[in-house]
Structure 1
Amino acid sequence: MPLLMANGLRLKKFRGIGFIKQRNEEEKMEHVTIPQTKLDVSRVALGTWAIGGWMWGGTDEQESIRTIHAALDKGVNVIDTAPVYGFGRSEEIVGKALKEYGRRENVRIATKAGLNWTADGQVFRDCTPERITKEIDESLQRLGVDHIDIYFVHWPDPTVPIEETAQVMNNLFKQGKIGSIGVSNYSTAQMDAFRGEAPLHLCQPPYNIFEREIEQDILPYCKTNNIALMTYGVLCRGLLSGKMRRDREFKGDDLRKADPKFQQPRYDQYLAAVEELKALGSKKNKGLLPFAVRWVLDRDVEIALWGGRNPDQMEPLAEIEGWKVDSEIMQRVEDILDEHVTDPVGPEFMAPPSRNDVSMD
């Protein structure tokens, strides 16, 4: 049963993690409280990898700022970024957008640590205490803030003990530089090791209709251990936006040039599935994009990351609210995948190398 609070908000318990505020006249979006914190966040977060330009064919700063403002105006209150997104560019743009927008107290900033890069732009994992300590101060400066609400370890570093990384993150948490601790792309064993040295509030793995690996272990582990899921890749690099065409050409450093999903014959398999998913969403009078986001939210995920680079891309936000993907439609999604995607592949191609595998010359 929903609970009626004194301020008129209707709340319902969400599978043991915080409370989701249901829509009312004052609020455009469902919210959830991050466990073991007081952080109240929208269940859709804006991802800004593409805004950084790197691996997305460049960026337009003013258009990016307008995109961030459009998301905030529509009720999103979590902006997710990282130093590696454009080698600082994304964080700088987010900082400028927030300064222009104001109301910092209403916005939750998520960023990350644990990646480094060479002078020629080769990215590698680096979770040394020296690197994380340096990164937090650089991120604070680029973002123009005095603390970061959600701080993730971007990727586990095989050259640094997990416990050592956790200790550094815990120190930042105790110092008040960060409001909560998260890990991204960690296994359950790595999360176990991490939790021996520090609290763990969030986990950020890839998850979407086409990439489902976390259902095997990560998702149930997070449910059992009261860790909020803030998943990325909800639109699968645009495949689930409904705008991909067979003749689409990816240019420059666009990461989809290396993504096996966008190479034939797999590309045709995924595009065929997309067409049927579009038809399925239309039964609910929804476009494919809001359907894909709603599907993630209805799979025991607290927060779904949705990237965008222009304000118009924020228009479907309203279509995500006020409905559910029922069991019949969930099963139909399974049938569509079984029928069309005969050679599925995950997001493994995105994993950066360790320091030992990169030339520092």
Structure 2
Amino acid sequence: MTNFLNQAGIATLIHNADWKSIVMILISFVLMYLAIGKGFEPLLLLPIAFGMLLTNLPGAGMFHSEIFEGGHIHWDLIKNGVTLSNGANEAAGLIDILYLGVKLGIYPCLIFIGVGAMTDFGPLIANPKSLLLGAAAQLGIFIAYLGALGLSKLGIPGLEFTQKMAASIGIIGGADGPTAIYVTSRLASELLGPIAIAAYSYMALVPVIQPPIMRGLTTKKERMIRMDALRTVSKKEKIVFPIAVTAFVALLVPSAAPLVGSLMLGNLFRECGVVDRLSKTAQNELMNIVVIFLGVSVGATAKAESFLSPMTLGILAMGIVAFMCGTAGGVLLAKFMNIFLPEGKKINPLIGSAGVSAVPMAARVSQKEGQREDPSNFLLMHAMGPNVAGVIGSAVAAGVFIALFG
């Protein structure tokens, strides 16, 4: 009985005075409350929070960071087990196995297949100018990247970021969780926990973060601009689009091909009309299964010793800067484009903020802000153009970083 009590998790917490693990468990409870009680990105925030709980429970042995130390997979430890500090040997845990899908870049690509199958690129095809707004909203990615490097120059202990770390932090500004996870797993896997949590937290806070920036950068007259109805896009255009985009991006930025190709494959399933079973599977069963595996395994990387540090605070700070700059970039480019557009053809700058690619939440925020000024103005379909363009833009930005630093 004494041996049993000494091996219990509560005894480990008390004996080791492991306050960091207790803090992480409390943080996981807060994230679960936000997911369940407030509905903040529950599909991913809930599995991430539960993964965080599992990995910080002492003695559970579900995740061993030693297996992935140095950015590599130590297959010998998966096969032979991990030697603990007390000399005991412990077999690889459940989440160690699930995390291989993150480390090998499998889960983000599978999620992109599902995202593509659920996405209608019609508004982007009907208004190609939307692609520019989606690209402008990626401004936050590169500003945060430079900001992280600049922060490192200040010499503050715990805030030293390498080029790879800065690139991983910057990609938070794309407001695209799977892309952030994909880049970080390739470049700075030790930061996966805080970056994933920052990315999904800020995505959930789109309705809170974006409106003040949108109102601050636009006038009442600009927010009331009405846009012409979009033209009808033919089925042939919708089928050709994913094929053409895949070929173009793969030739221009080959390292972005896995993400963009997966996105466009899912969209081709949707639009071609001959593989309805595959399209429905990608949207539902595949997407749901991968989201569970991805969320739990990413949350498990948020171990107390790595998460509770000044570096995590720096990541959260640069992440919000990236997100705000991305929102501003899309709005400001729309205002700039209006200088050259004739009356009656001007763009409502509110749709530029949707380029941050949090689909479809950012587009809904544009619609809501437009109707605050004019309840009869409908911007949703116009905002969907920059919104889906932002998904492509963030994937291309990810490919650029991987090509530069991978």
TM-score (norm: length of structure 2) = 0.26
- Which structure's relative contact order is higher, taking Cα pairs within 8 Å and 6+ residues apart? 2
- Quick check: which one's strand share is greater? 1
Whose Rg is larger? 2
- Quick check: which one's helix share is greater? 2
